[in-house]
């Protein structure tokens, strides 16, 4: 867990993070969007809100580790169906 995590597992896909810009995605060098897809294939949410939510959960999890609370689960509240937080 400590150290650099492996990346590059999805051919042609680059997910990058800049602390003041958030997560961005490209596919074969072209801009793309993150999406949440249910097990039955329904797209639940897509776009910048998904990226911001994923980043916030990852950052909060990391902060918990720094605070000695790494055993706690970090979850976001449910997203509204229109892509906005409720």
Q: Is the pTM of this model over 0.95?
A: no
CB 63 within 8 A of CB 57: no
31 sits in which H/E element: strand 30-32
Cα angle for residues 78, 79, 80 (degrees, 5° grid): 115
3-31 pLDDT, tens digit each: 888 889 999 999 998 888 889 999 999 99
Residue 72 has a pLDDT of: 64
pLDDT tens string 27-77: 999 999 999 999 999 999 999 999 999 999 888 888 888 888 766 677 788
User: What sign does the CA torsion over 81, 27, 30, 21 have?
Assistant: positive
Q: Would you state the pLDDT for residue 78?
A: 82
Q: Taking the CA atoms of 22, 25, 30 and 31 in sequence, report the sign of the dihedral they define.
A: negative
């Amino acid at each position: 867990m400590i150290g650099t995590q492996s990346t590059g597992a999805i051919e042609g896909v680059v997910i990058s993070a800049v602390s003041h810009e958030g997560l961005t995605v490209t596919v074969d060098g072209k801009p793309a969007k993150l999406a949440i897809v249910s097990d039955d294939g329904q797209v639940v949410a897509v776009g910048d809100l998904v990226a911001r939510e994923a980043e916030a959960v990852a950052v909060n999890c990391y902060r918990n580790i720094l605070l000695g609370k790494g055993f706690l689960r970090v979850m976001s509240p449910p997203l509204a169906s229109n892509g906005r937080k409720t």
